[in-house]
Structure 1
Amino acid sequence: MKDILLKNLNRSIVRFFGAFLFFLILAGCSNDDDATGGEITVNAVFLQDVNSTVPDRQVEFVRLGQLLRIEGSGFTGLKRVFINGYQTGFNPVYVSDTSMLIRVSGDTPTVEAADEVRNTIRFVKDNSEKIIEFEIRSSAPQITRISHTMPKPGEEITVYGSGLIEVTRVVFPGDVEVTSGITFDEVDGKFFTVTMPEGVATSGGSIYIESANGAAYSPAYFNFKEGVILNFDGMGGIGEFGNTIRTSQLESQVIGEGNTSQGTYVPHRPEGKGTFPAGSNRLSEVFTTGSESWRTQFTPFFPTTTPLEELAFQFDIYVPKAWNTGVLQILLINNFNGGEWSGGTYNYVPWIVDEERELFMTEGWTTVTIPFTDFYNFEAEDTEFTFADLLAFREAATYKNFGMFFNNTDVLLSNVTRSPSDVEFAATPTDVDIYTDNWRIVSLEVPTVTDFPE
């Protein structure tokens, strides 16, 4: 009897451990399934764009830099994703079994991708993979700078940016269209040239372009003559006091190649001044009368609530001889002694490039754009300034003259880059000729271009 009981007990133990082992194997298989999520399927691809009226839009193509939400199943256990053959990183936190988020890297090849991987997305897990066909386009073109934003009709301008390949159409403010005579950088798409047509609206605005990579707008600062503070030809007036440049010292001879002067302009080393010595500030100075009201003149175009980061000071400049010492100091009010790197000023030093001293000169007149948030008292990134702050600053001043000094003292690199440095550029005597014209306030706002109807 005892032997029978012992045999039955042994059989029960064997059955128990057998059943336990079976369940372990079964659980292991289940865990494997959970870890890999089964075969990948892709049902739809959505573009995530918080700036669009349709922030989650099903699409059939994507551009470099854009964020995708991919919907389907089996994404659990995803290890790698290749877009046009380029391994693209993703955050596992944003992966579930039925969807994932992934941003198309700006380094992803497009037209240069190998034929067998071009316009594909490949999903890879340990034991399986899925490839879908999906169009991958280059980044949308972007305009970052225009060589001259107030040219005369018939003059050529250069538009700089990225993705400016095969530009076929340029529309100027006033709906003036140009479709011929456009040349472009065929290798890198960093610029194109076009001739300023007749009839462009003096109220200005953005340039619109169409290219092989899509459409783009420039900032809304082209030909904005209504923003002129002073053009030395009747729009605004110069103040004649102290050692300031007088009306009789302004010049009007046509100078410059390609883009030439427009009537009267100011020389920042007037005739008879001779060589500017090193170690001195306020070697020349020119100001407005100080009686102008920016609030009256400009708030019809720029409401006081306009973010200051959307506004800039622009002027045209011509430098026919090499400039590599001295600073053009721009002053919001006449309350400075020269040489300041703080307060309501900005120092224009184009001869410091990549932290090195280089010779600066121009063949013709070109446009300089300085955002008002680059002026030292408005550069704090933790403060959201508006046009009202700029107006209040000027209106509180005893001397409201807007103007420029030419200073020729040593320049600390740290003042230019706003970061620590022991480098100092010693000033040297100079007879540089610097001419400016068309001082103006402009908008930096860029109209939105979308690939899709809103």
Structure 2
Amino acid sequence: MKTLIKKIIHKGWPVVFLLAILTLSTVASCKDDDGGNNLPVIHYLRLTDPVLADSTFTDVERGTMLAVIGENLDGVIEVYINNQKISFNSTYSTPTSLIITVPYDEDFKLTSTNPELQAELRIVTNHGTATFPMHVLSPGPNIFFVSAFYPIEPGDEVTLMGQNFYEIKRIYFSKDSVEVTMPITDYQVSNDYEQITFNMPDKLKEGGYIFVDCYTDEASIEFVPAGPKPAITGISSTMPMPGTEVTIVGKNFINVSKVNINGEFDIPKEDLEVSEAMNAITFTMPEAPENSGKIIVATISGTAELEGFYPREHIVLDFDNRGSRSWGDNSDTWTTDGTTDPFIADRNYSGIKGTISANNSWWGQIVTTTFWPGNDIIPDDTPISELELQFECYVTKLFDGPVLEIQIGGNFDASLKDYVPVSSFTGKTETAEWMQCSIPLESLVAEATWKEFTSRVNENPQDANTQLGIYVRNPSNKNDVSVEFYVDNFRIVPIQKEN
């Protein structure tokens, strides 16, 4: 028998065949012991991998393929999990085994949210029914943030905001994640299992961690009575147009009092919209700061900062003070009067608009002069892979066929082809509003370092008027496609690393 099993594993025969061979060797003695009773029986559950044959269990994840091991499991008619009929393949059935897969779809009900269901596996055959206790696990819990009025005093109401607060075993405070400082026994879970509310214990005045121990897993979050320190992880644009909406994302934006712009002016509390999850702040940019700097968000528990806001020293083209449009068909430079697209702009801007025919590889261009930041702004040894080209773009409607080609530094061999503008914040093409686009510089430049790049482009100053170009072509068979978009404030900046 052992030799036969080795041959089966070596030849990679189906798992069910191996299960059948393994169990048939014992079925005869079982039948003799039960006196001829052929009622189906389930002995245990295990994974189908023969290597894990000794791993038996009663808790299973959704989507798991299981081997059900027992006796008299032939003639299966129906299979139920949590009193819900599931599909099965009769090919994977023998008198001593049945292979099934726990459903993963959203319609499959779990006992965590439907306690009236029986947590069991039920196999119905043409000669009887077998049951076995089986618990299908819910998704593990997550805690996003602590909602409360800070500073939190004993007796104050506290709400844990998160998801998957199913089958809670215990909630407790701990200073070191090992020793339980204070258990929380009086709490309420919301109907959607996304909130846990309780009152702060009288004895707990110091910080630590809150743990939520559920049947499936455990989640925790740091607890600071005075309020956790805020953090900024991103922004919708580093150079938003005055009059447009700006969104700062991060965490712990609790009782925000103001947002300071580059040390020049404040956005007061009444002009700020903070999300319910306290992880986003939205406001309208009232004006452009004169200098580059940083955004500072002030909260009850401290401040959070984001460097590189309005990085004016990094601008290579703004159609005002640095660089200008040199030439191009179907393009121009404008100053908005507020009556037509883009309605709002930062002084001068450029763009391309018109109608392009099918299979047109040379139609509209914006070819410009540029200004490259010196090594006092971008050090010579900076890898090109650590830089990106950012610019503001306004698309009147989604591109349908046409695509852009962008070249920088006059090297068409390294140009970015088939580009469609998308927001670096949302990942989508936002229409009828300014959005920040970001392109890794290595997608546009062949050199490895900033010095290598600037050394080449500065060798021939007379070519400066061709060192950044945007070209529209239509590789599709769609005729008479309308194109209209505008661009401004091109800058080369370090790629923002996530905090």
Report the Cα distance in structure 2 between the residues aligned to 1:372 and 1:206, rounded to whole angstroms. Answer: 23
Question: Residue 402 of structure 1: which of 468, 476, 496 is its match?
Answer: 468
Residue 440 (structure 1) aligned with residue 494 (structure 2): no
Percent of residue pairs bearing the same amino acid type: 21
Letter in 1 for 2:352: H
1:276 aligned partner: 356
Q: Secondary structure at the match of 2:453?
A: helix
Superposed CA deviations along residues 198-234 of structure 1, whole A, max 9, x for unmatched, are 68232x12212134686433351x2223333222235
Superposed CA deviations along residues 353-379 of structure 1, whole A, max 9, x for unmatched, are 9xx9x8x4433333323332454757x
Is the CA contact 1:157–1:195 (under 8 Å) kept in the aligned structure 2? yes
Q: In the TM superposition, what are the counterparts of 1:114-153 in structure 2 within 5 Å?
A: 115=198, 120=209, 135=223, 140-147=230-237, 149-152=239-242
Q: Secondary structure at the match of 1:260?
A: coil
1:321 aligned partner: 397
Is the CA contact 1:319–1:361 (under 8 Å) kept in the aligned structure 2? yes
Compared CA separation, residues 431 and 258, structure 1 to 2 (3 A)? closer
Letter in 1 for 2:356: F
Report the Cα distance in structure 2 between the residues aligned to 1:192 and 1:166, rounded to whole angstroms. Answer: 11
1:434 deviates by: 0.6
Report the Cα distance in structure 2 between the residues aligned to 1:160 and 1:197, rounded to whole angstroms. Answer: 15
> Tell me, which stretches of 5 or more residues in structure 1 are unaligned?
1-62, 66-81, 96-110, 125-131, 337-341, 379-384, 411-425, 449-454
Question: Residue 250 of structure 2: which of 159, 162, 169 is its match?
Answer: 162
Residue 369 (structure 1) aligned with residue 438 (structure 2): yes
Q: In the TM superposition, what are the counterparts of 1:160-309 in structure 2 within 5 Å?
A: 160-163=248-251, 164=253, 166-197=255-286, 200-202=289-291, 204-211=292-299, 215-220=303-308, 222-240=309-327, 244-245=328-329, 249-255=332-338, 260-269=344-353, 274-289=354-369, 294=372, 297-309=373-385
Superposed CA deviations along residues 172-217 of structure 1, whole A, max 9, x for unmatched, are 1135333333333433445322243568232x12212134686433
Is the CA contact 1:331–1:345 (under 8 Å) kept in the aligned structure 2? yes
Is the CA contact 1:313–1:439 (under 8 Å) kept in the aligned structure 2? yes
Is the CA contact 1:277–1:430 (under 8 Å) kept in the aligned structure 2? yes
Report the Cα distance in structure 2 between the residues aligned to 1:263 and 1:199, rounded to whole angstroms. Answer: 11
Is the CA contact 2:260–2:296 (under 8 Å) kept in the aligned structure 1? yes
Compared CA separation, residues 442 and 113, structure 1 to 2 (3 A)? same
Residue 349 (structure 1) aligned with residue 420 (structure 2): yes
Compared CA separation, residues 369 and 210, structure 1 to 2 (3 A)? farther
Letter in 2 for 1:177: D
> Tell me, which stretches of 5 or more residues in structure 2 are unaligned?
1-142, 146-168, 179-193, 202-207, 214-219
Residue 333 (structure 1) aligned with residue 409 (structure 2): yes
Letter in 2 for 1:162: G
Is the CA contact 1:151–1:259 (under 8 Å) kept in the aligned structure 2? no
Q: How many residues align?
A: 299
Compared CA separation, residues 376 and 185, structure 1 to 2 (3 A)? farther
1:134 deviates by: 6.9
Report the Cα distance in structure 2 between the residues aligned to 1:133 and 1:366, rounded to whole angstroms. Answer: 34
Letter in 2 for 1:387: W
Q: In the TM superposition, what are the counterparts of 1:384-403 in structure 2 within 5 Å?
A: 385-392=448-455, 394-395=457-458, 401-403=467-469
Q: In the TM superposition, what are the counterparts of 1:421-440 in structure 2 within 5 Å?
A: 429-440=480-491
Compared CA separation, residues 175 and 231, structure 1 to 2 (3 A)? closer
Compared CA separation, residues 377 and 175, structure 1 to 2 (3 A)? same
1:433 deviates by: 0.9
Instruction: Please say which of residues 158-167 and 255-264 is displaced more in the overlay.
Output: 255-264
1:431 deviates by: 0.7
Instruction: Please say which of residues 183-192 and 431-440 is displaced more in the overlay.
Output: 183-192
1:13 aligned partner: none
1:123 deviates by: 12
Superposed CA deviations along residues 124-145 of structure 1, whole A, max 9, x for unmatched, are 9xxxxxxx99737879533323
Is the CA contact 1:148–1:366 (under 8 Å) kept in the aligned structure 2? no
Is the CA contact 1:344–1:377 (under 8 Å) kept in the aligned structure 2? no
Compared CA separation, residues 166 and 112, structure 1 to 2 (3 A)? farther
Letter in 2 for 1:250: T
Report the Cα distance in structure 1 between the residues aligned to 2:348 and 2:212, rounded to whole angstroms. Answer: 65
Report the Cα distance in structure 1 between the residues aligned to 2:237 and 2:210, rounded to whole angstroms. Answer: 40
Letter in 2 for 1:252: T
Report the Cα distance in structure 2 between the residues aligned to 1:323 and 1:199, rounded to whole angstroms. Answer: 30
Report the Cα distance in structure 1 between the residues aligned to 2:376 and 2:453, rounded to whole angstroms. Answer: 16
Q: Which has the higher contact order (CA 8 A, sep 6+)?
A: 1
Letter in 2 for 1:279: N
Instruction: Please say which of residues 274-283 and 252-261 is displaced more in the overlay.
Output: 252-261
Is the CA contact 2:210–2:223 (under 8 Å) kept in the aligned structure 1? no
Letter in 1 for 2:310: N
Is the CA contact 2:336–2:344 (under 8 Å) kept in the aligned structure 1? no
Compared CA separation, residues 117 and 326, structure 1 to 2 (3 A)? farther
Structural RMSD (CA): 4.8
Letter in 2 for 1:368: C
1:238 deviates by: 2.9
Q: Secondary structure at the match of 1:181?
A: helix
1:85 deviates by: 6.5
Instruction: Please say which of residues 429-438 and 169-178 is displaced more in the overlay.
Output: 169-178
Q: Secondary structure at the match of 1:218?
A: strand
Compared CA separation, residues 231 and 183, structure 1 to 2 (3 A)? same
Q: Secondary structure at the match of 2:348?
A: coil
Compared CA separation, residues 182 and 324, structure 1 to 2 (3 A)? farther
Is the CA contact 1:156–1:195 (under 8 Å) kept in the aligned structure 2? yes
Q: In the TM superposition, what are the counterparts of 1:65-84 in structure 2 within 5 Å?
A: none
Is the CA contact 2:296–2:305 (under 8 Å) kept in the aligned structure 1? yes
Report the Cα distance in structure 1 between the residues aligned to 2:171 and 2:335, rounded to whole angstroms. Answer: 57
Compared CA separation, residues 114 and 193, structure 1 to 2 (3 A)? closer
1:257 deviates by: 7.6
Report the Cα distance in structure 1 between the residues aligned to 2:359 and 2:221, rounded to whole angstroms. Answer: 66
Superposed CA deviations along residues 415-446 of structure 1, whole A, max 9, x for unmatched, are xxxxxxxxxxx766421211112222334457
Q: Secondary structure at the match of 2:334?
A: coil
Report the Cα distance in structure 1 between the residues aligned to 2:228 and 2:450, rounded to whole angstroms. Answer: 36
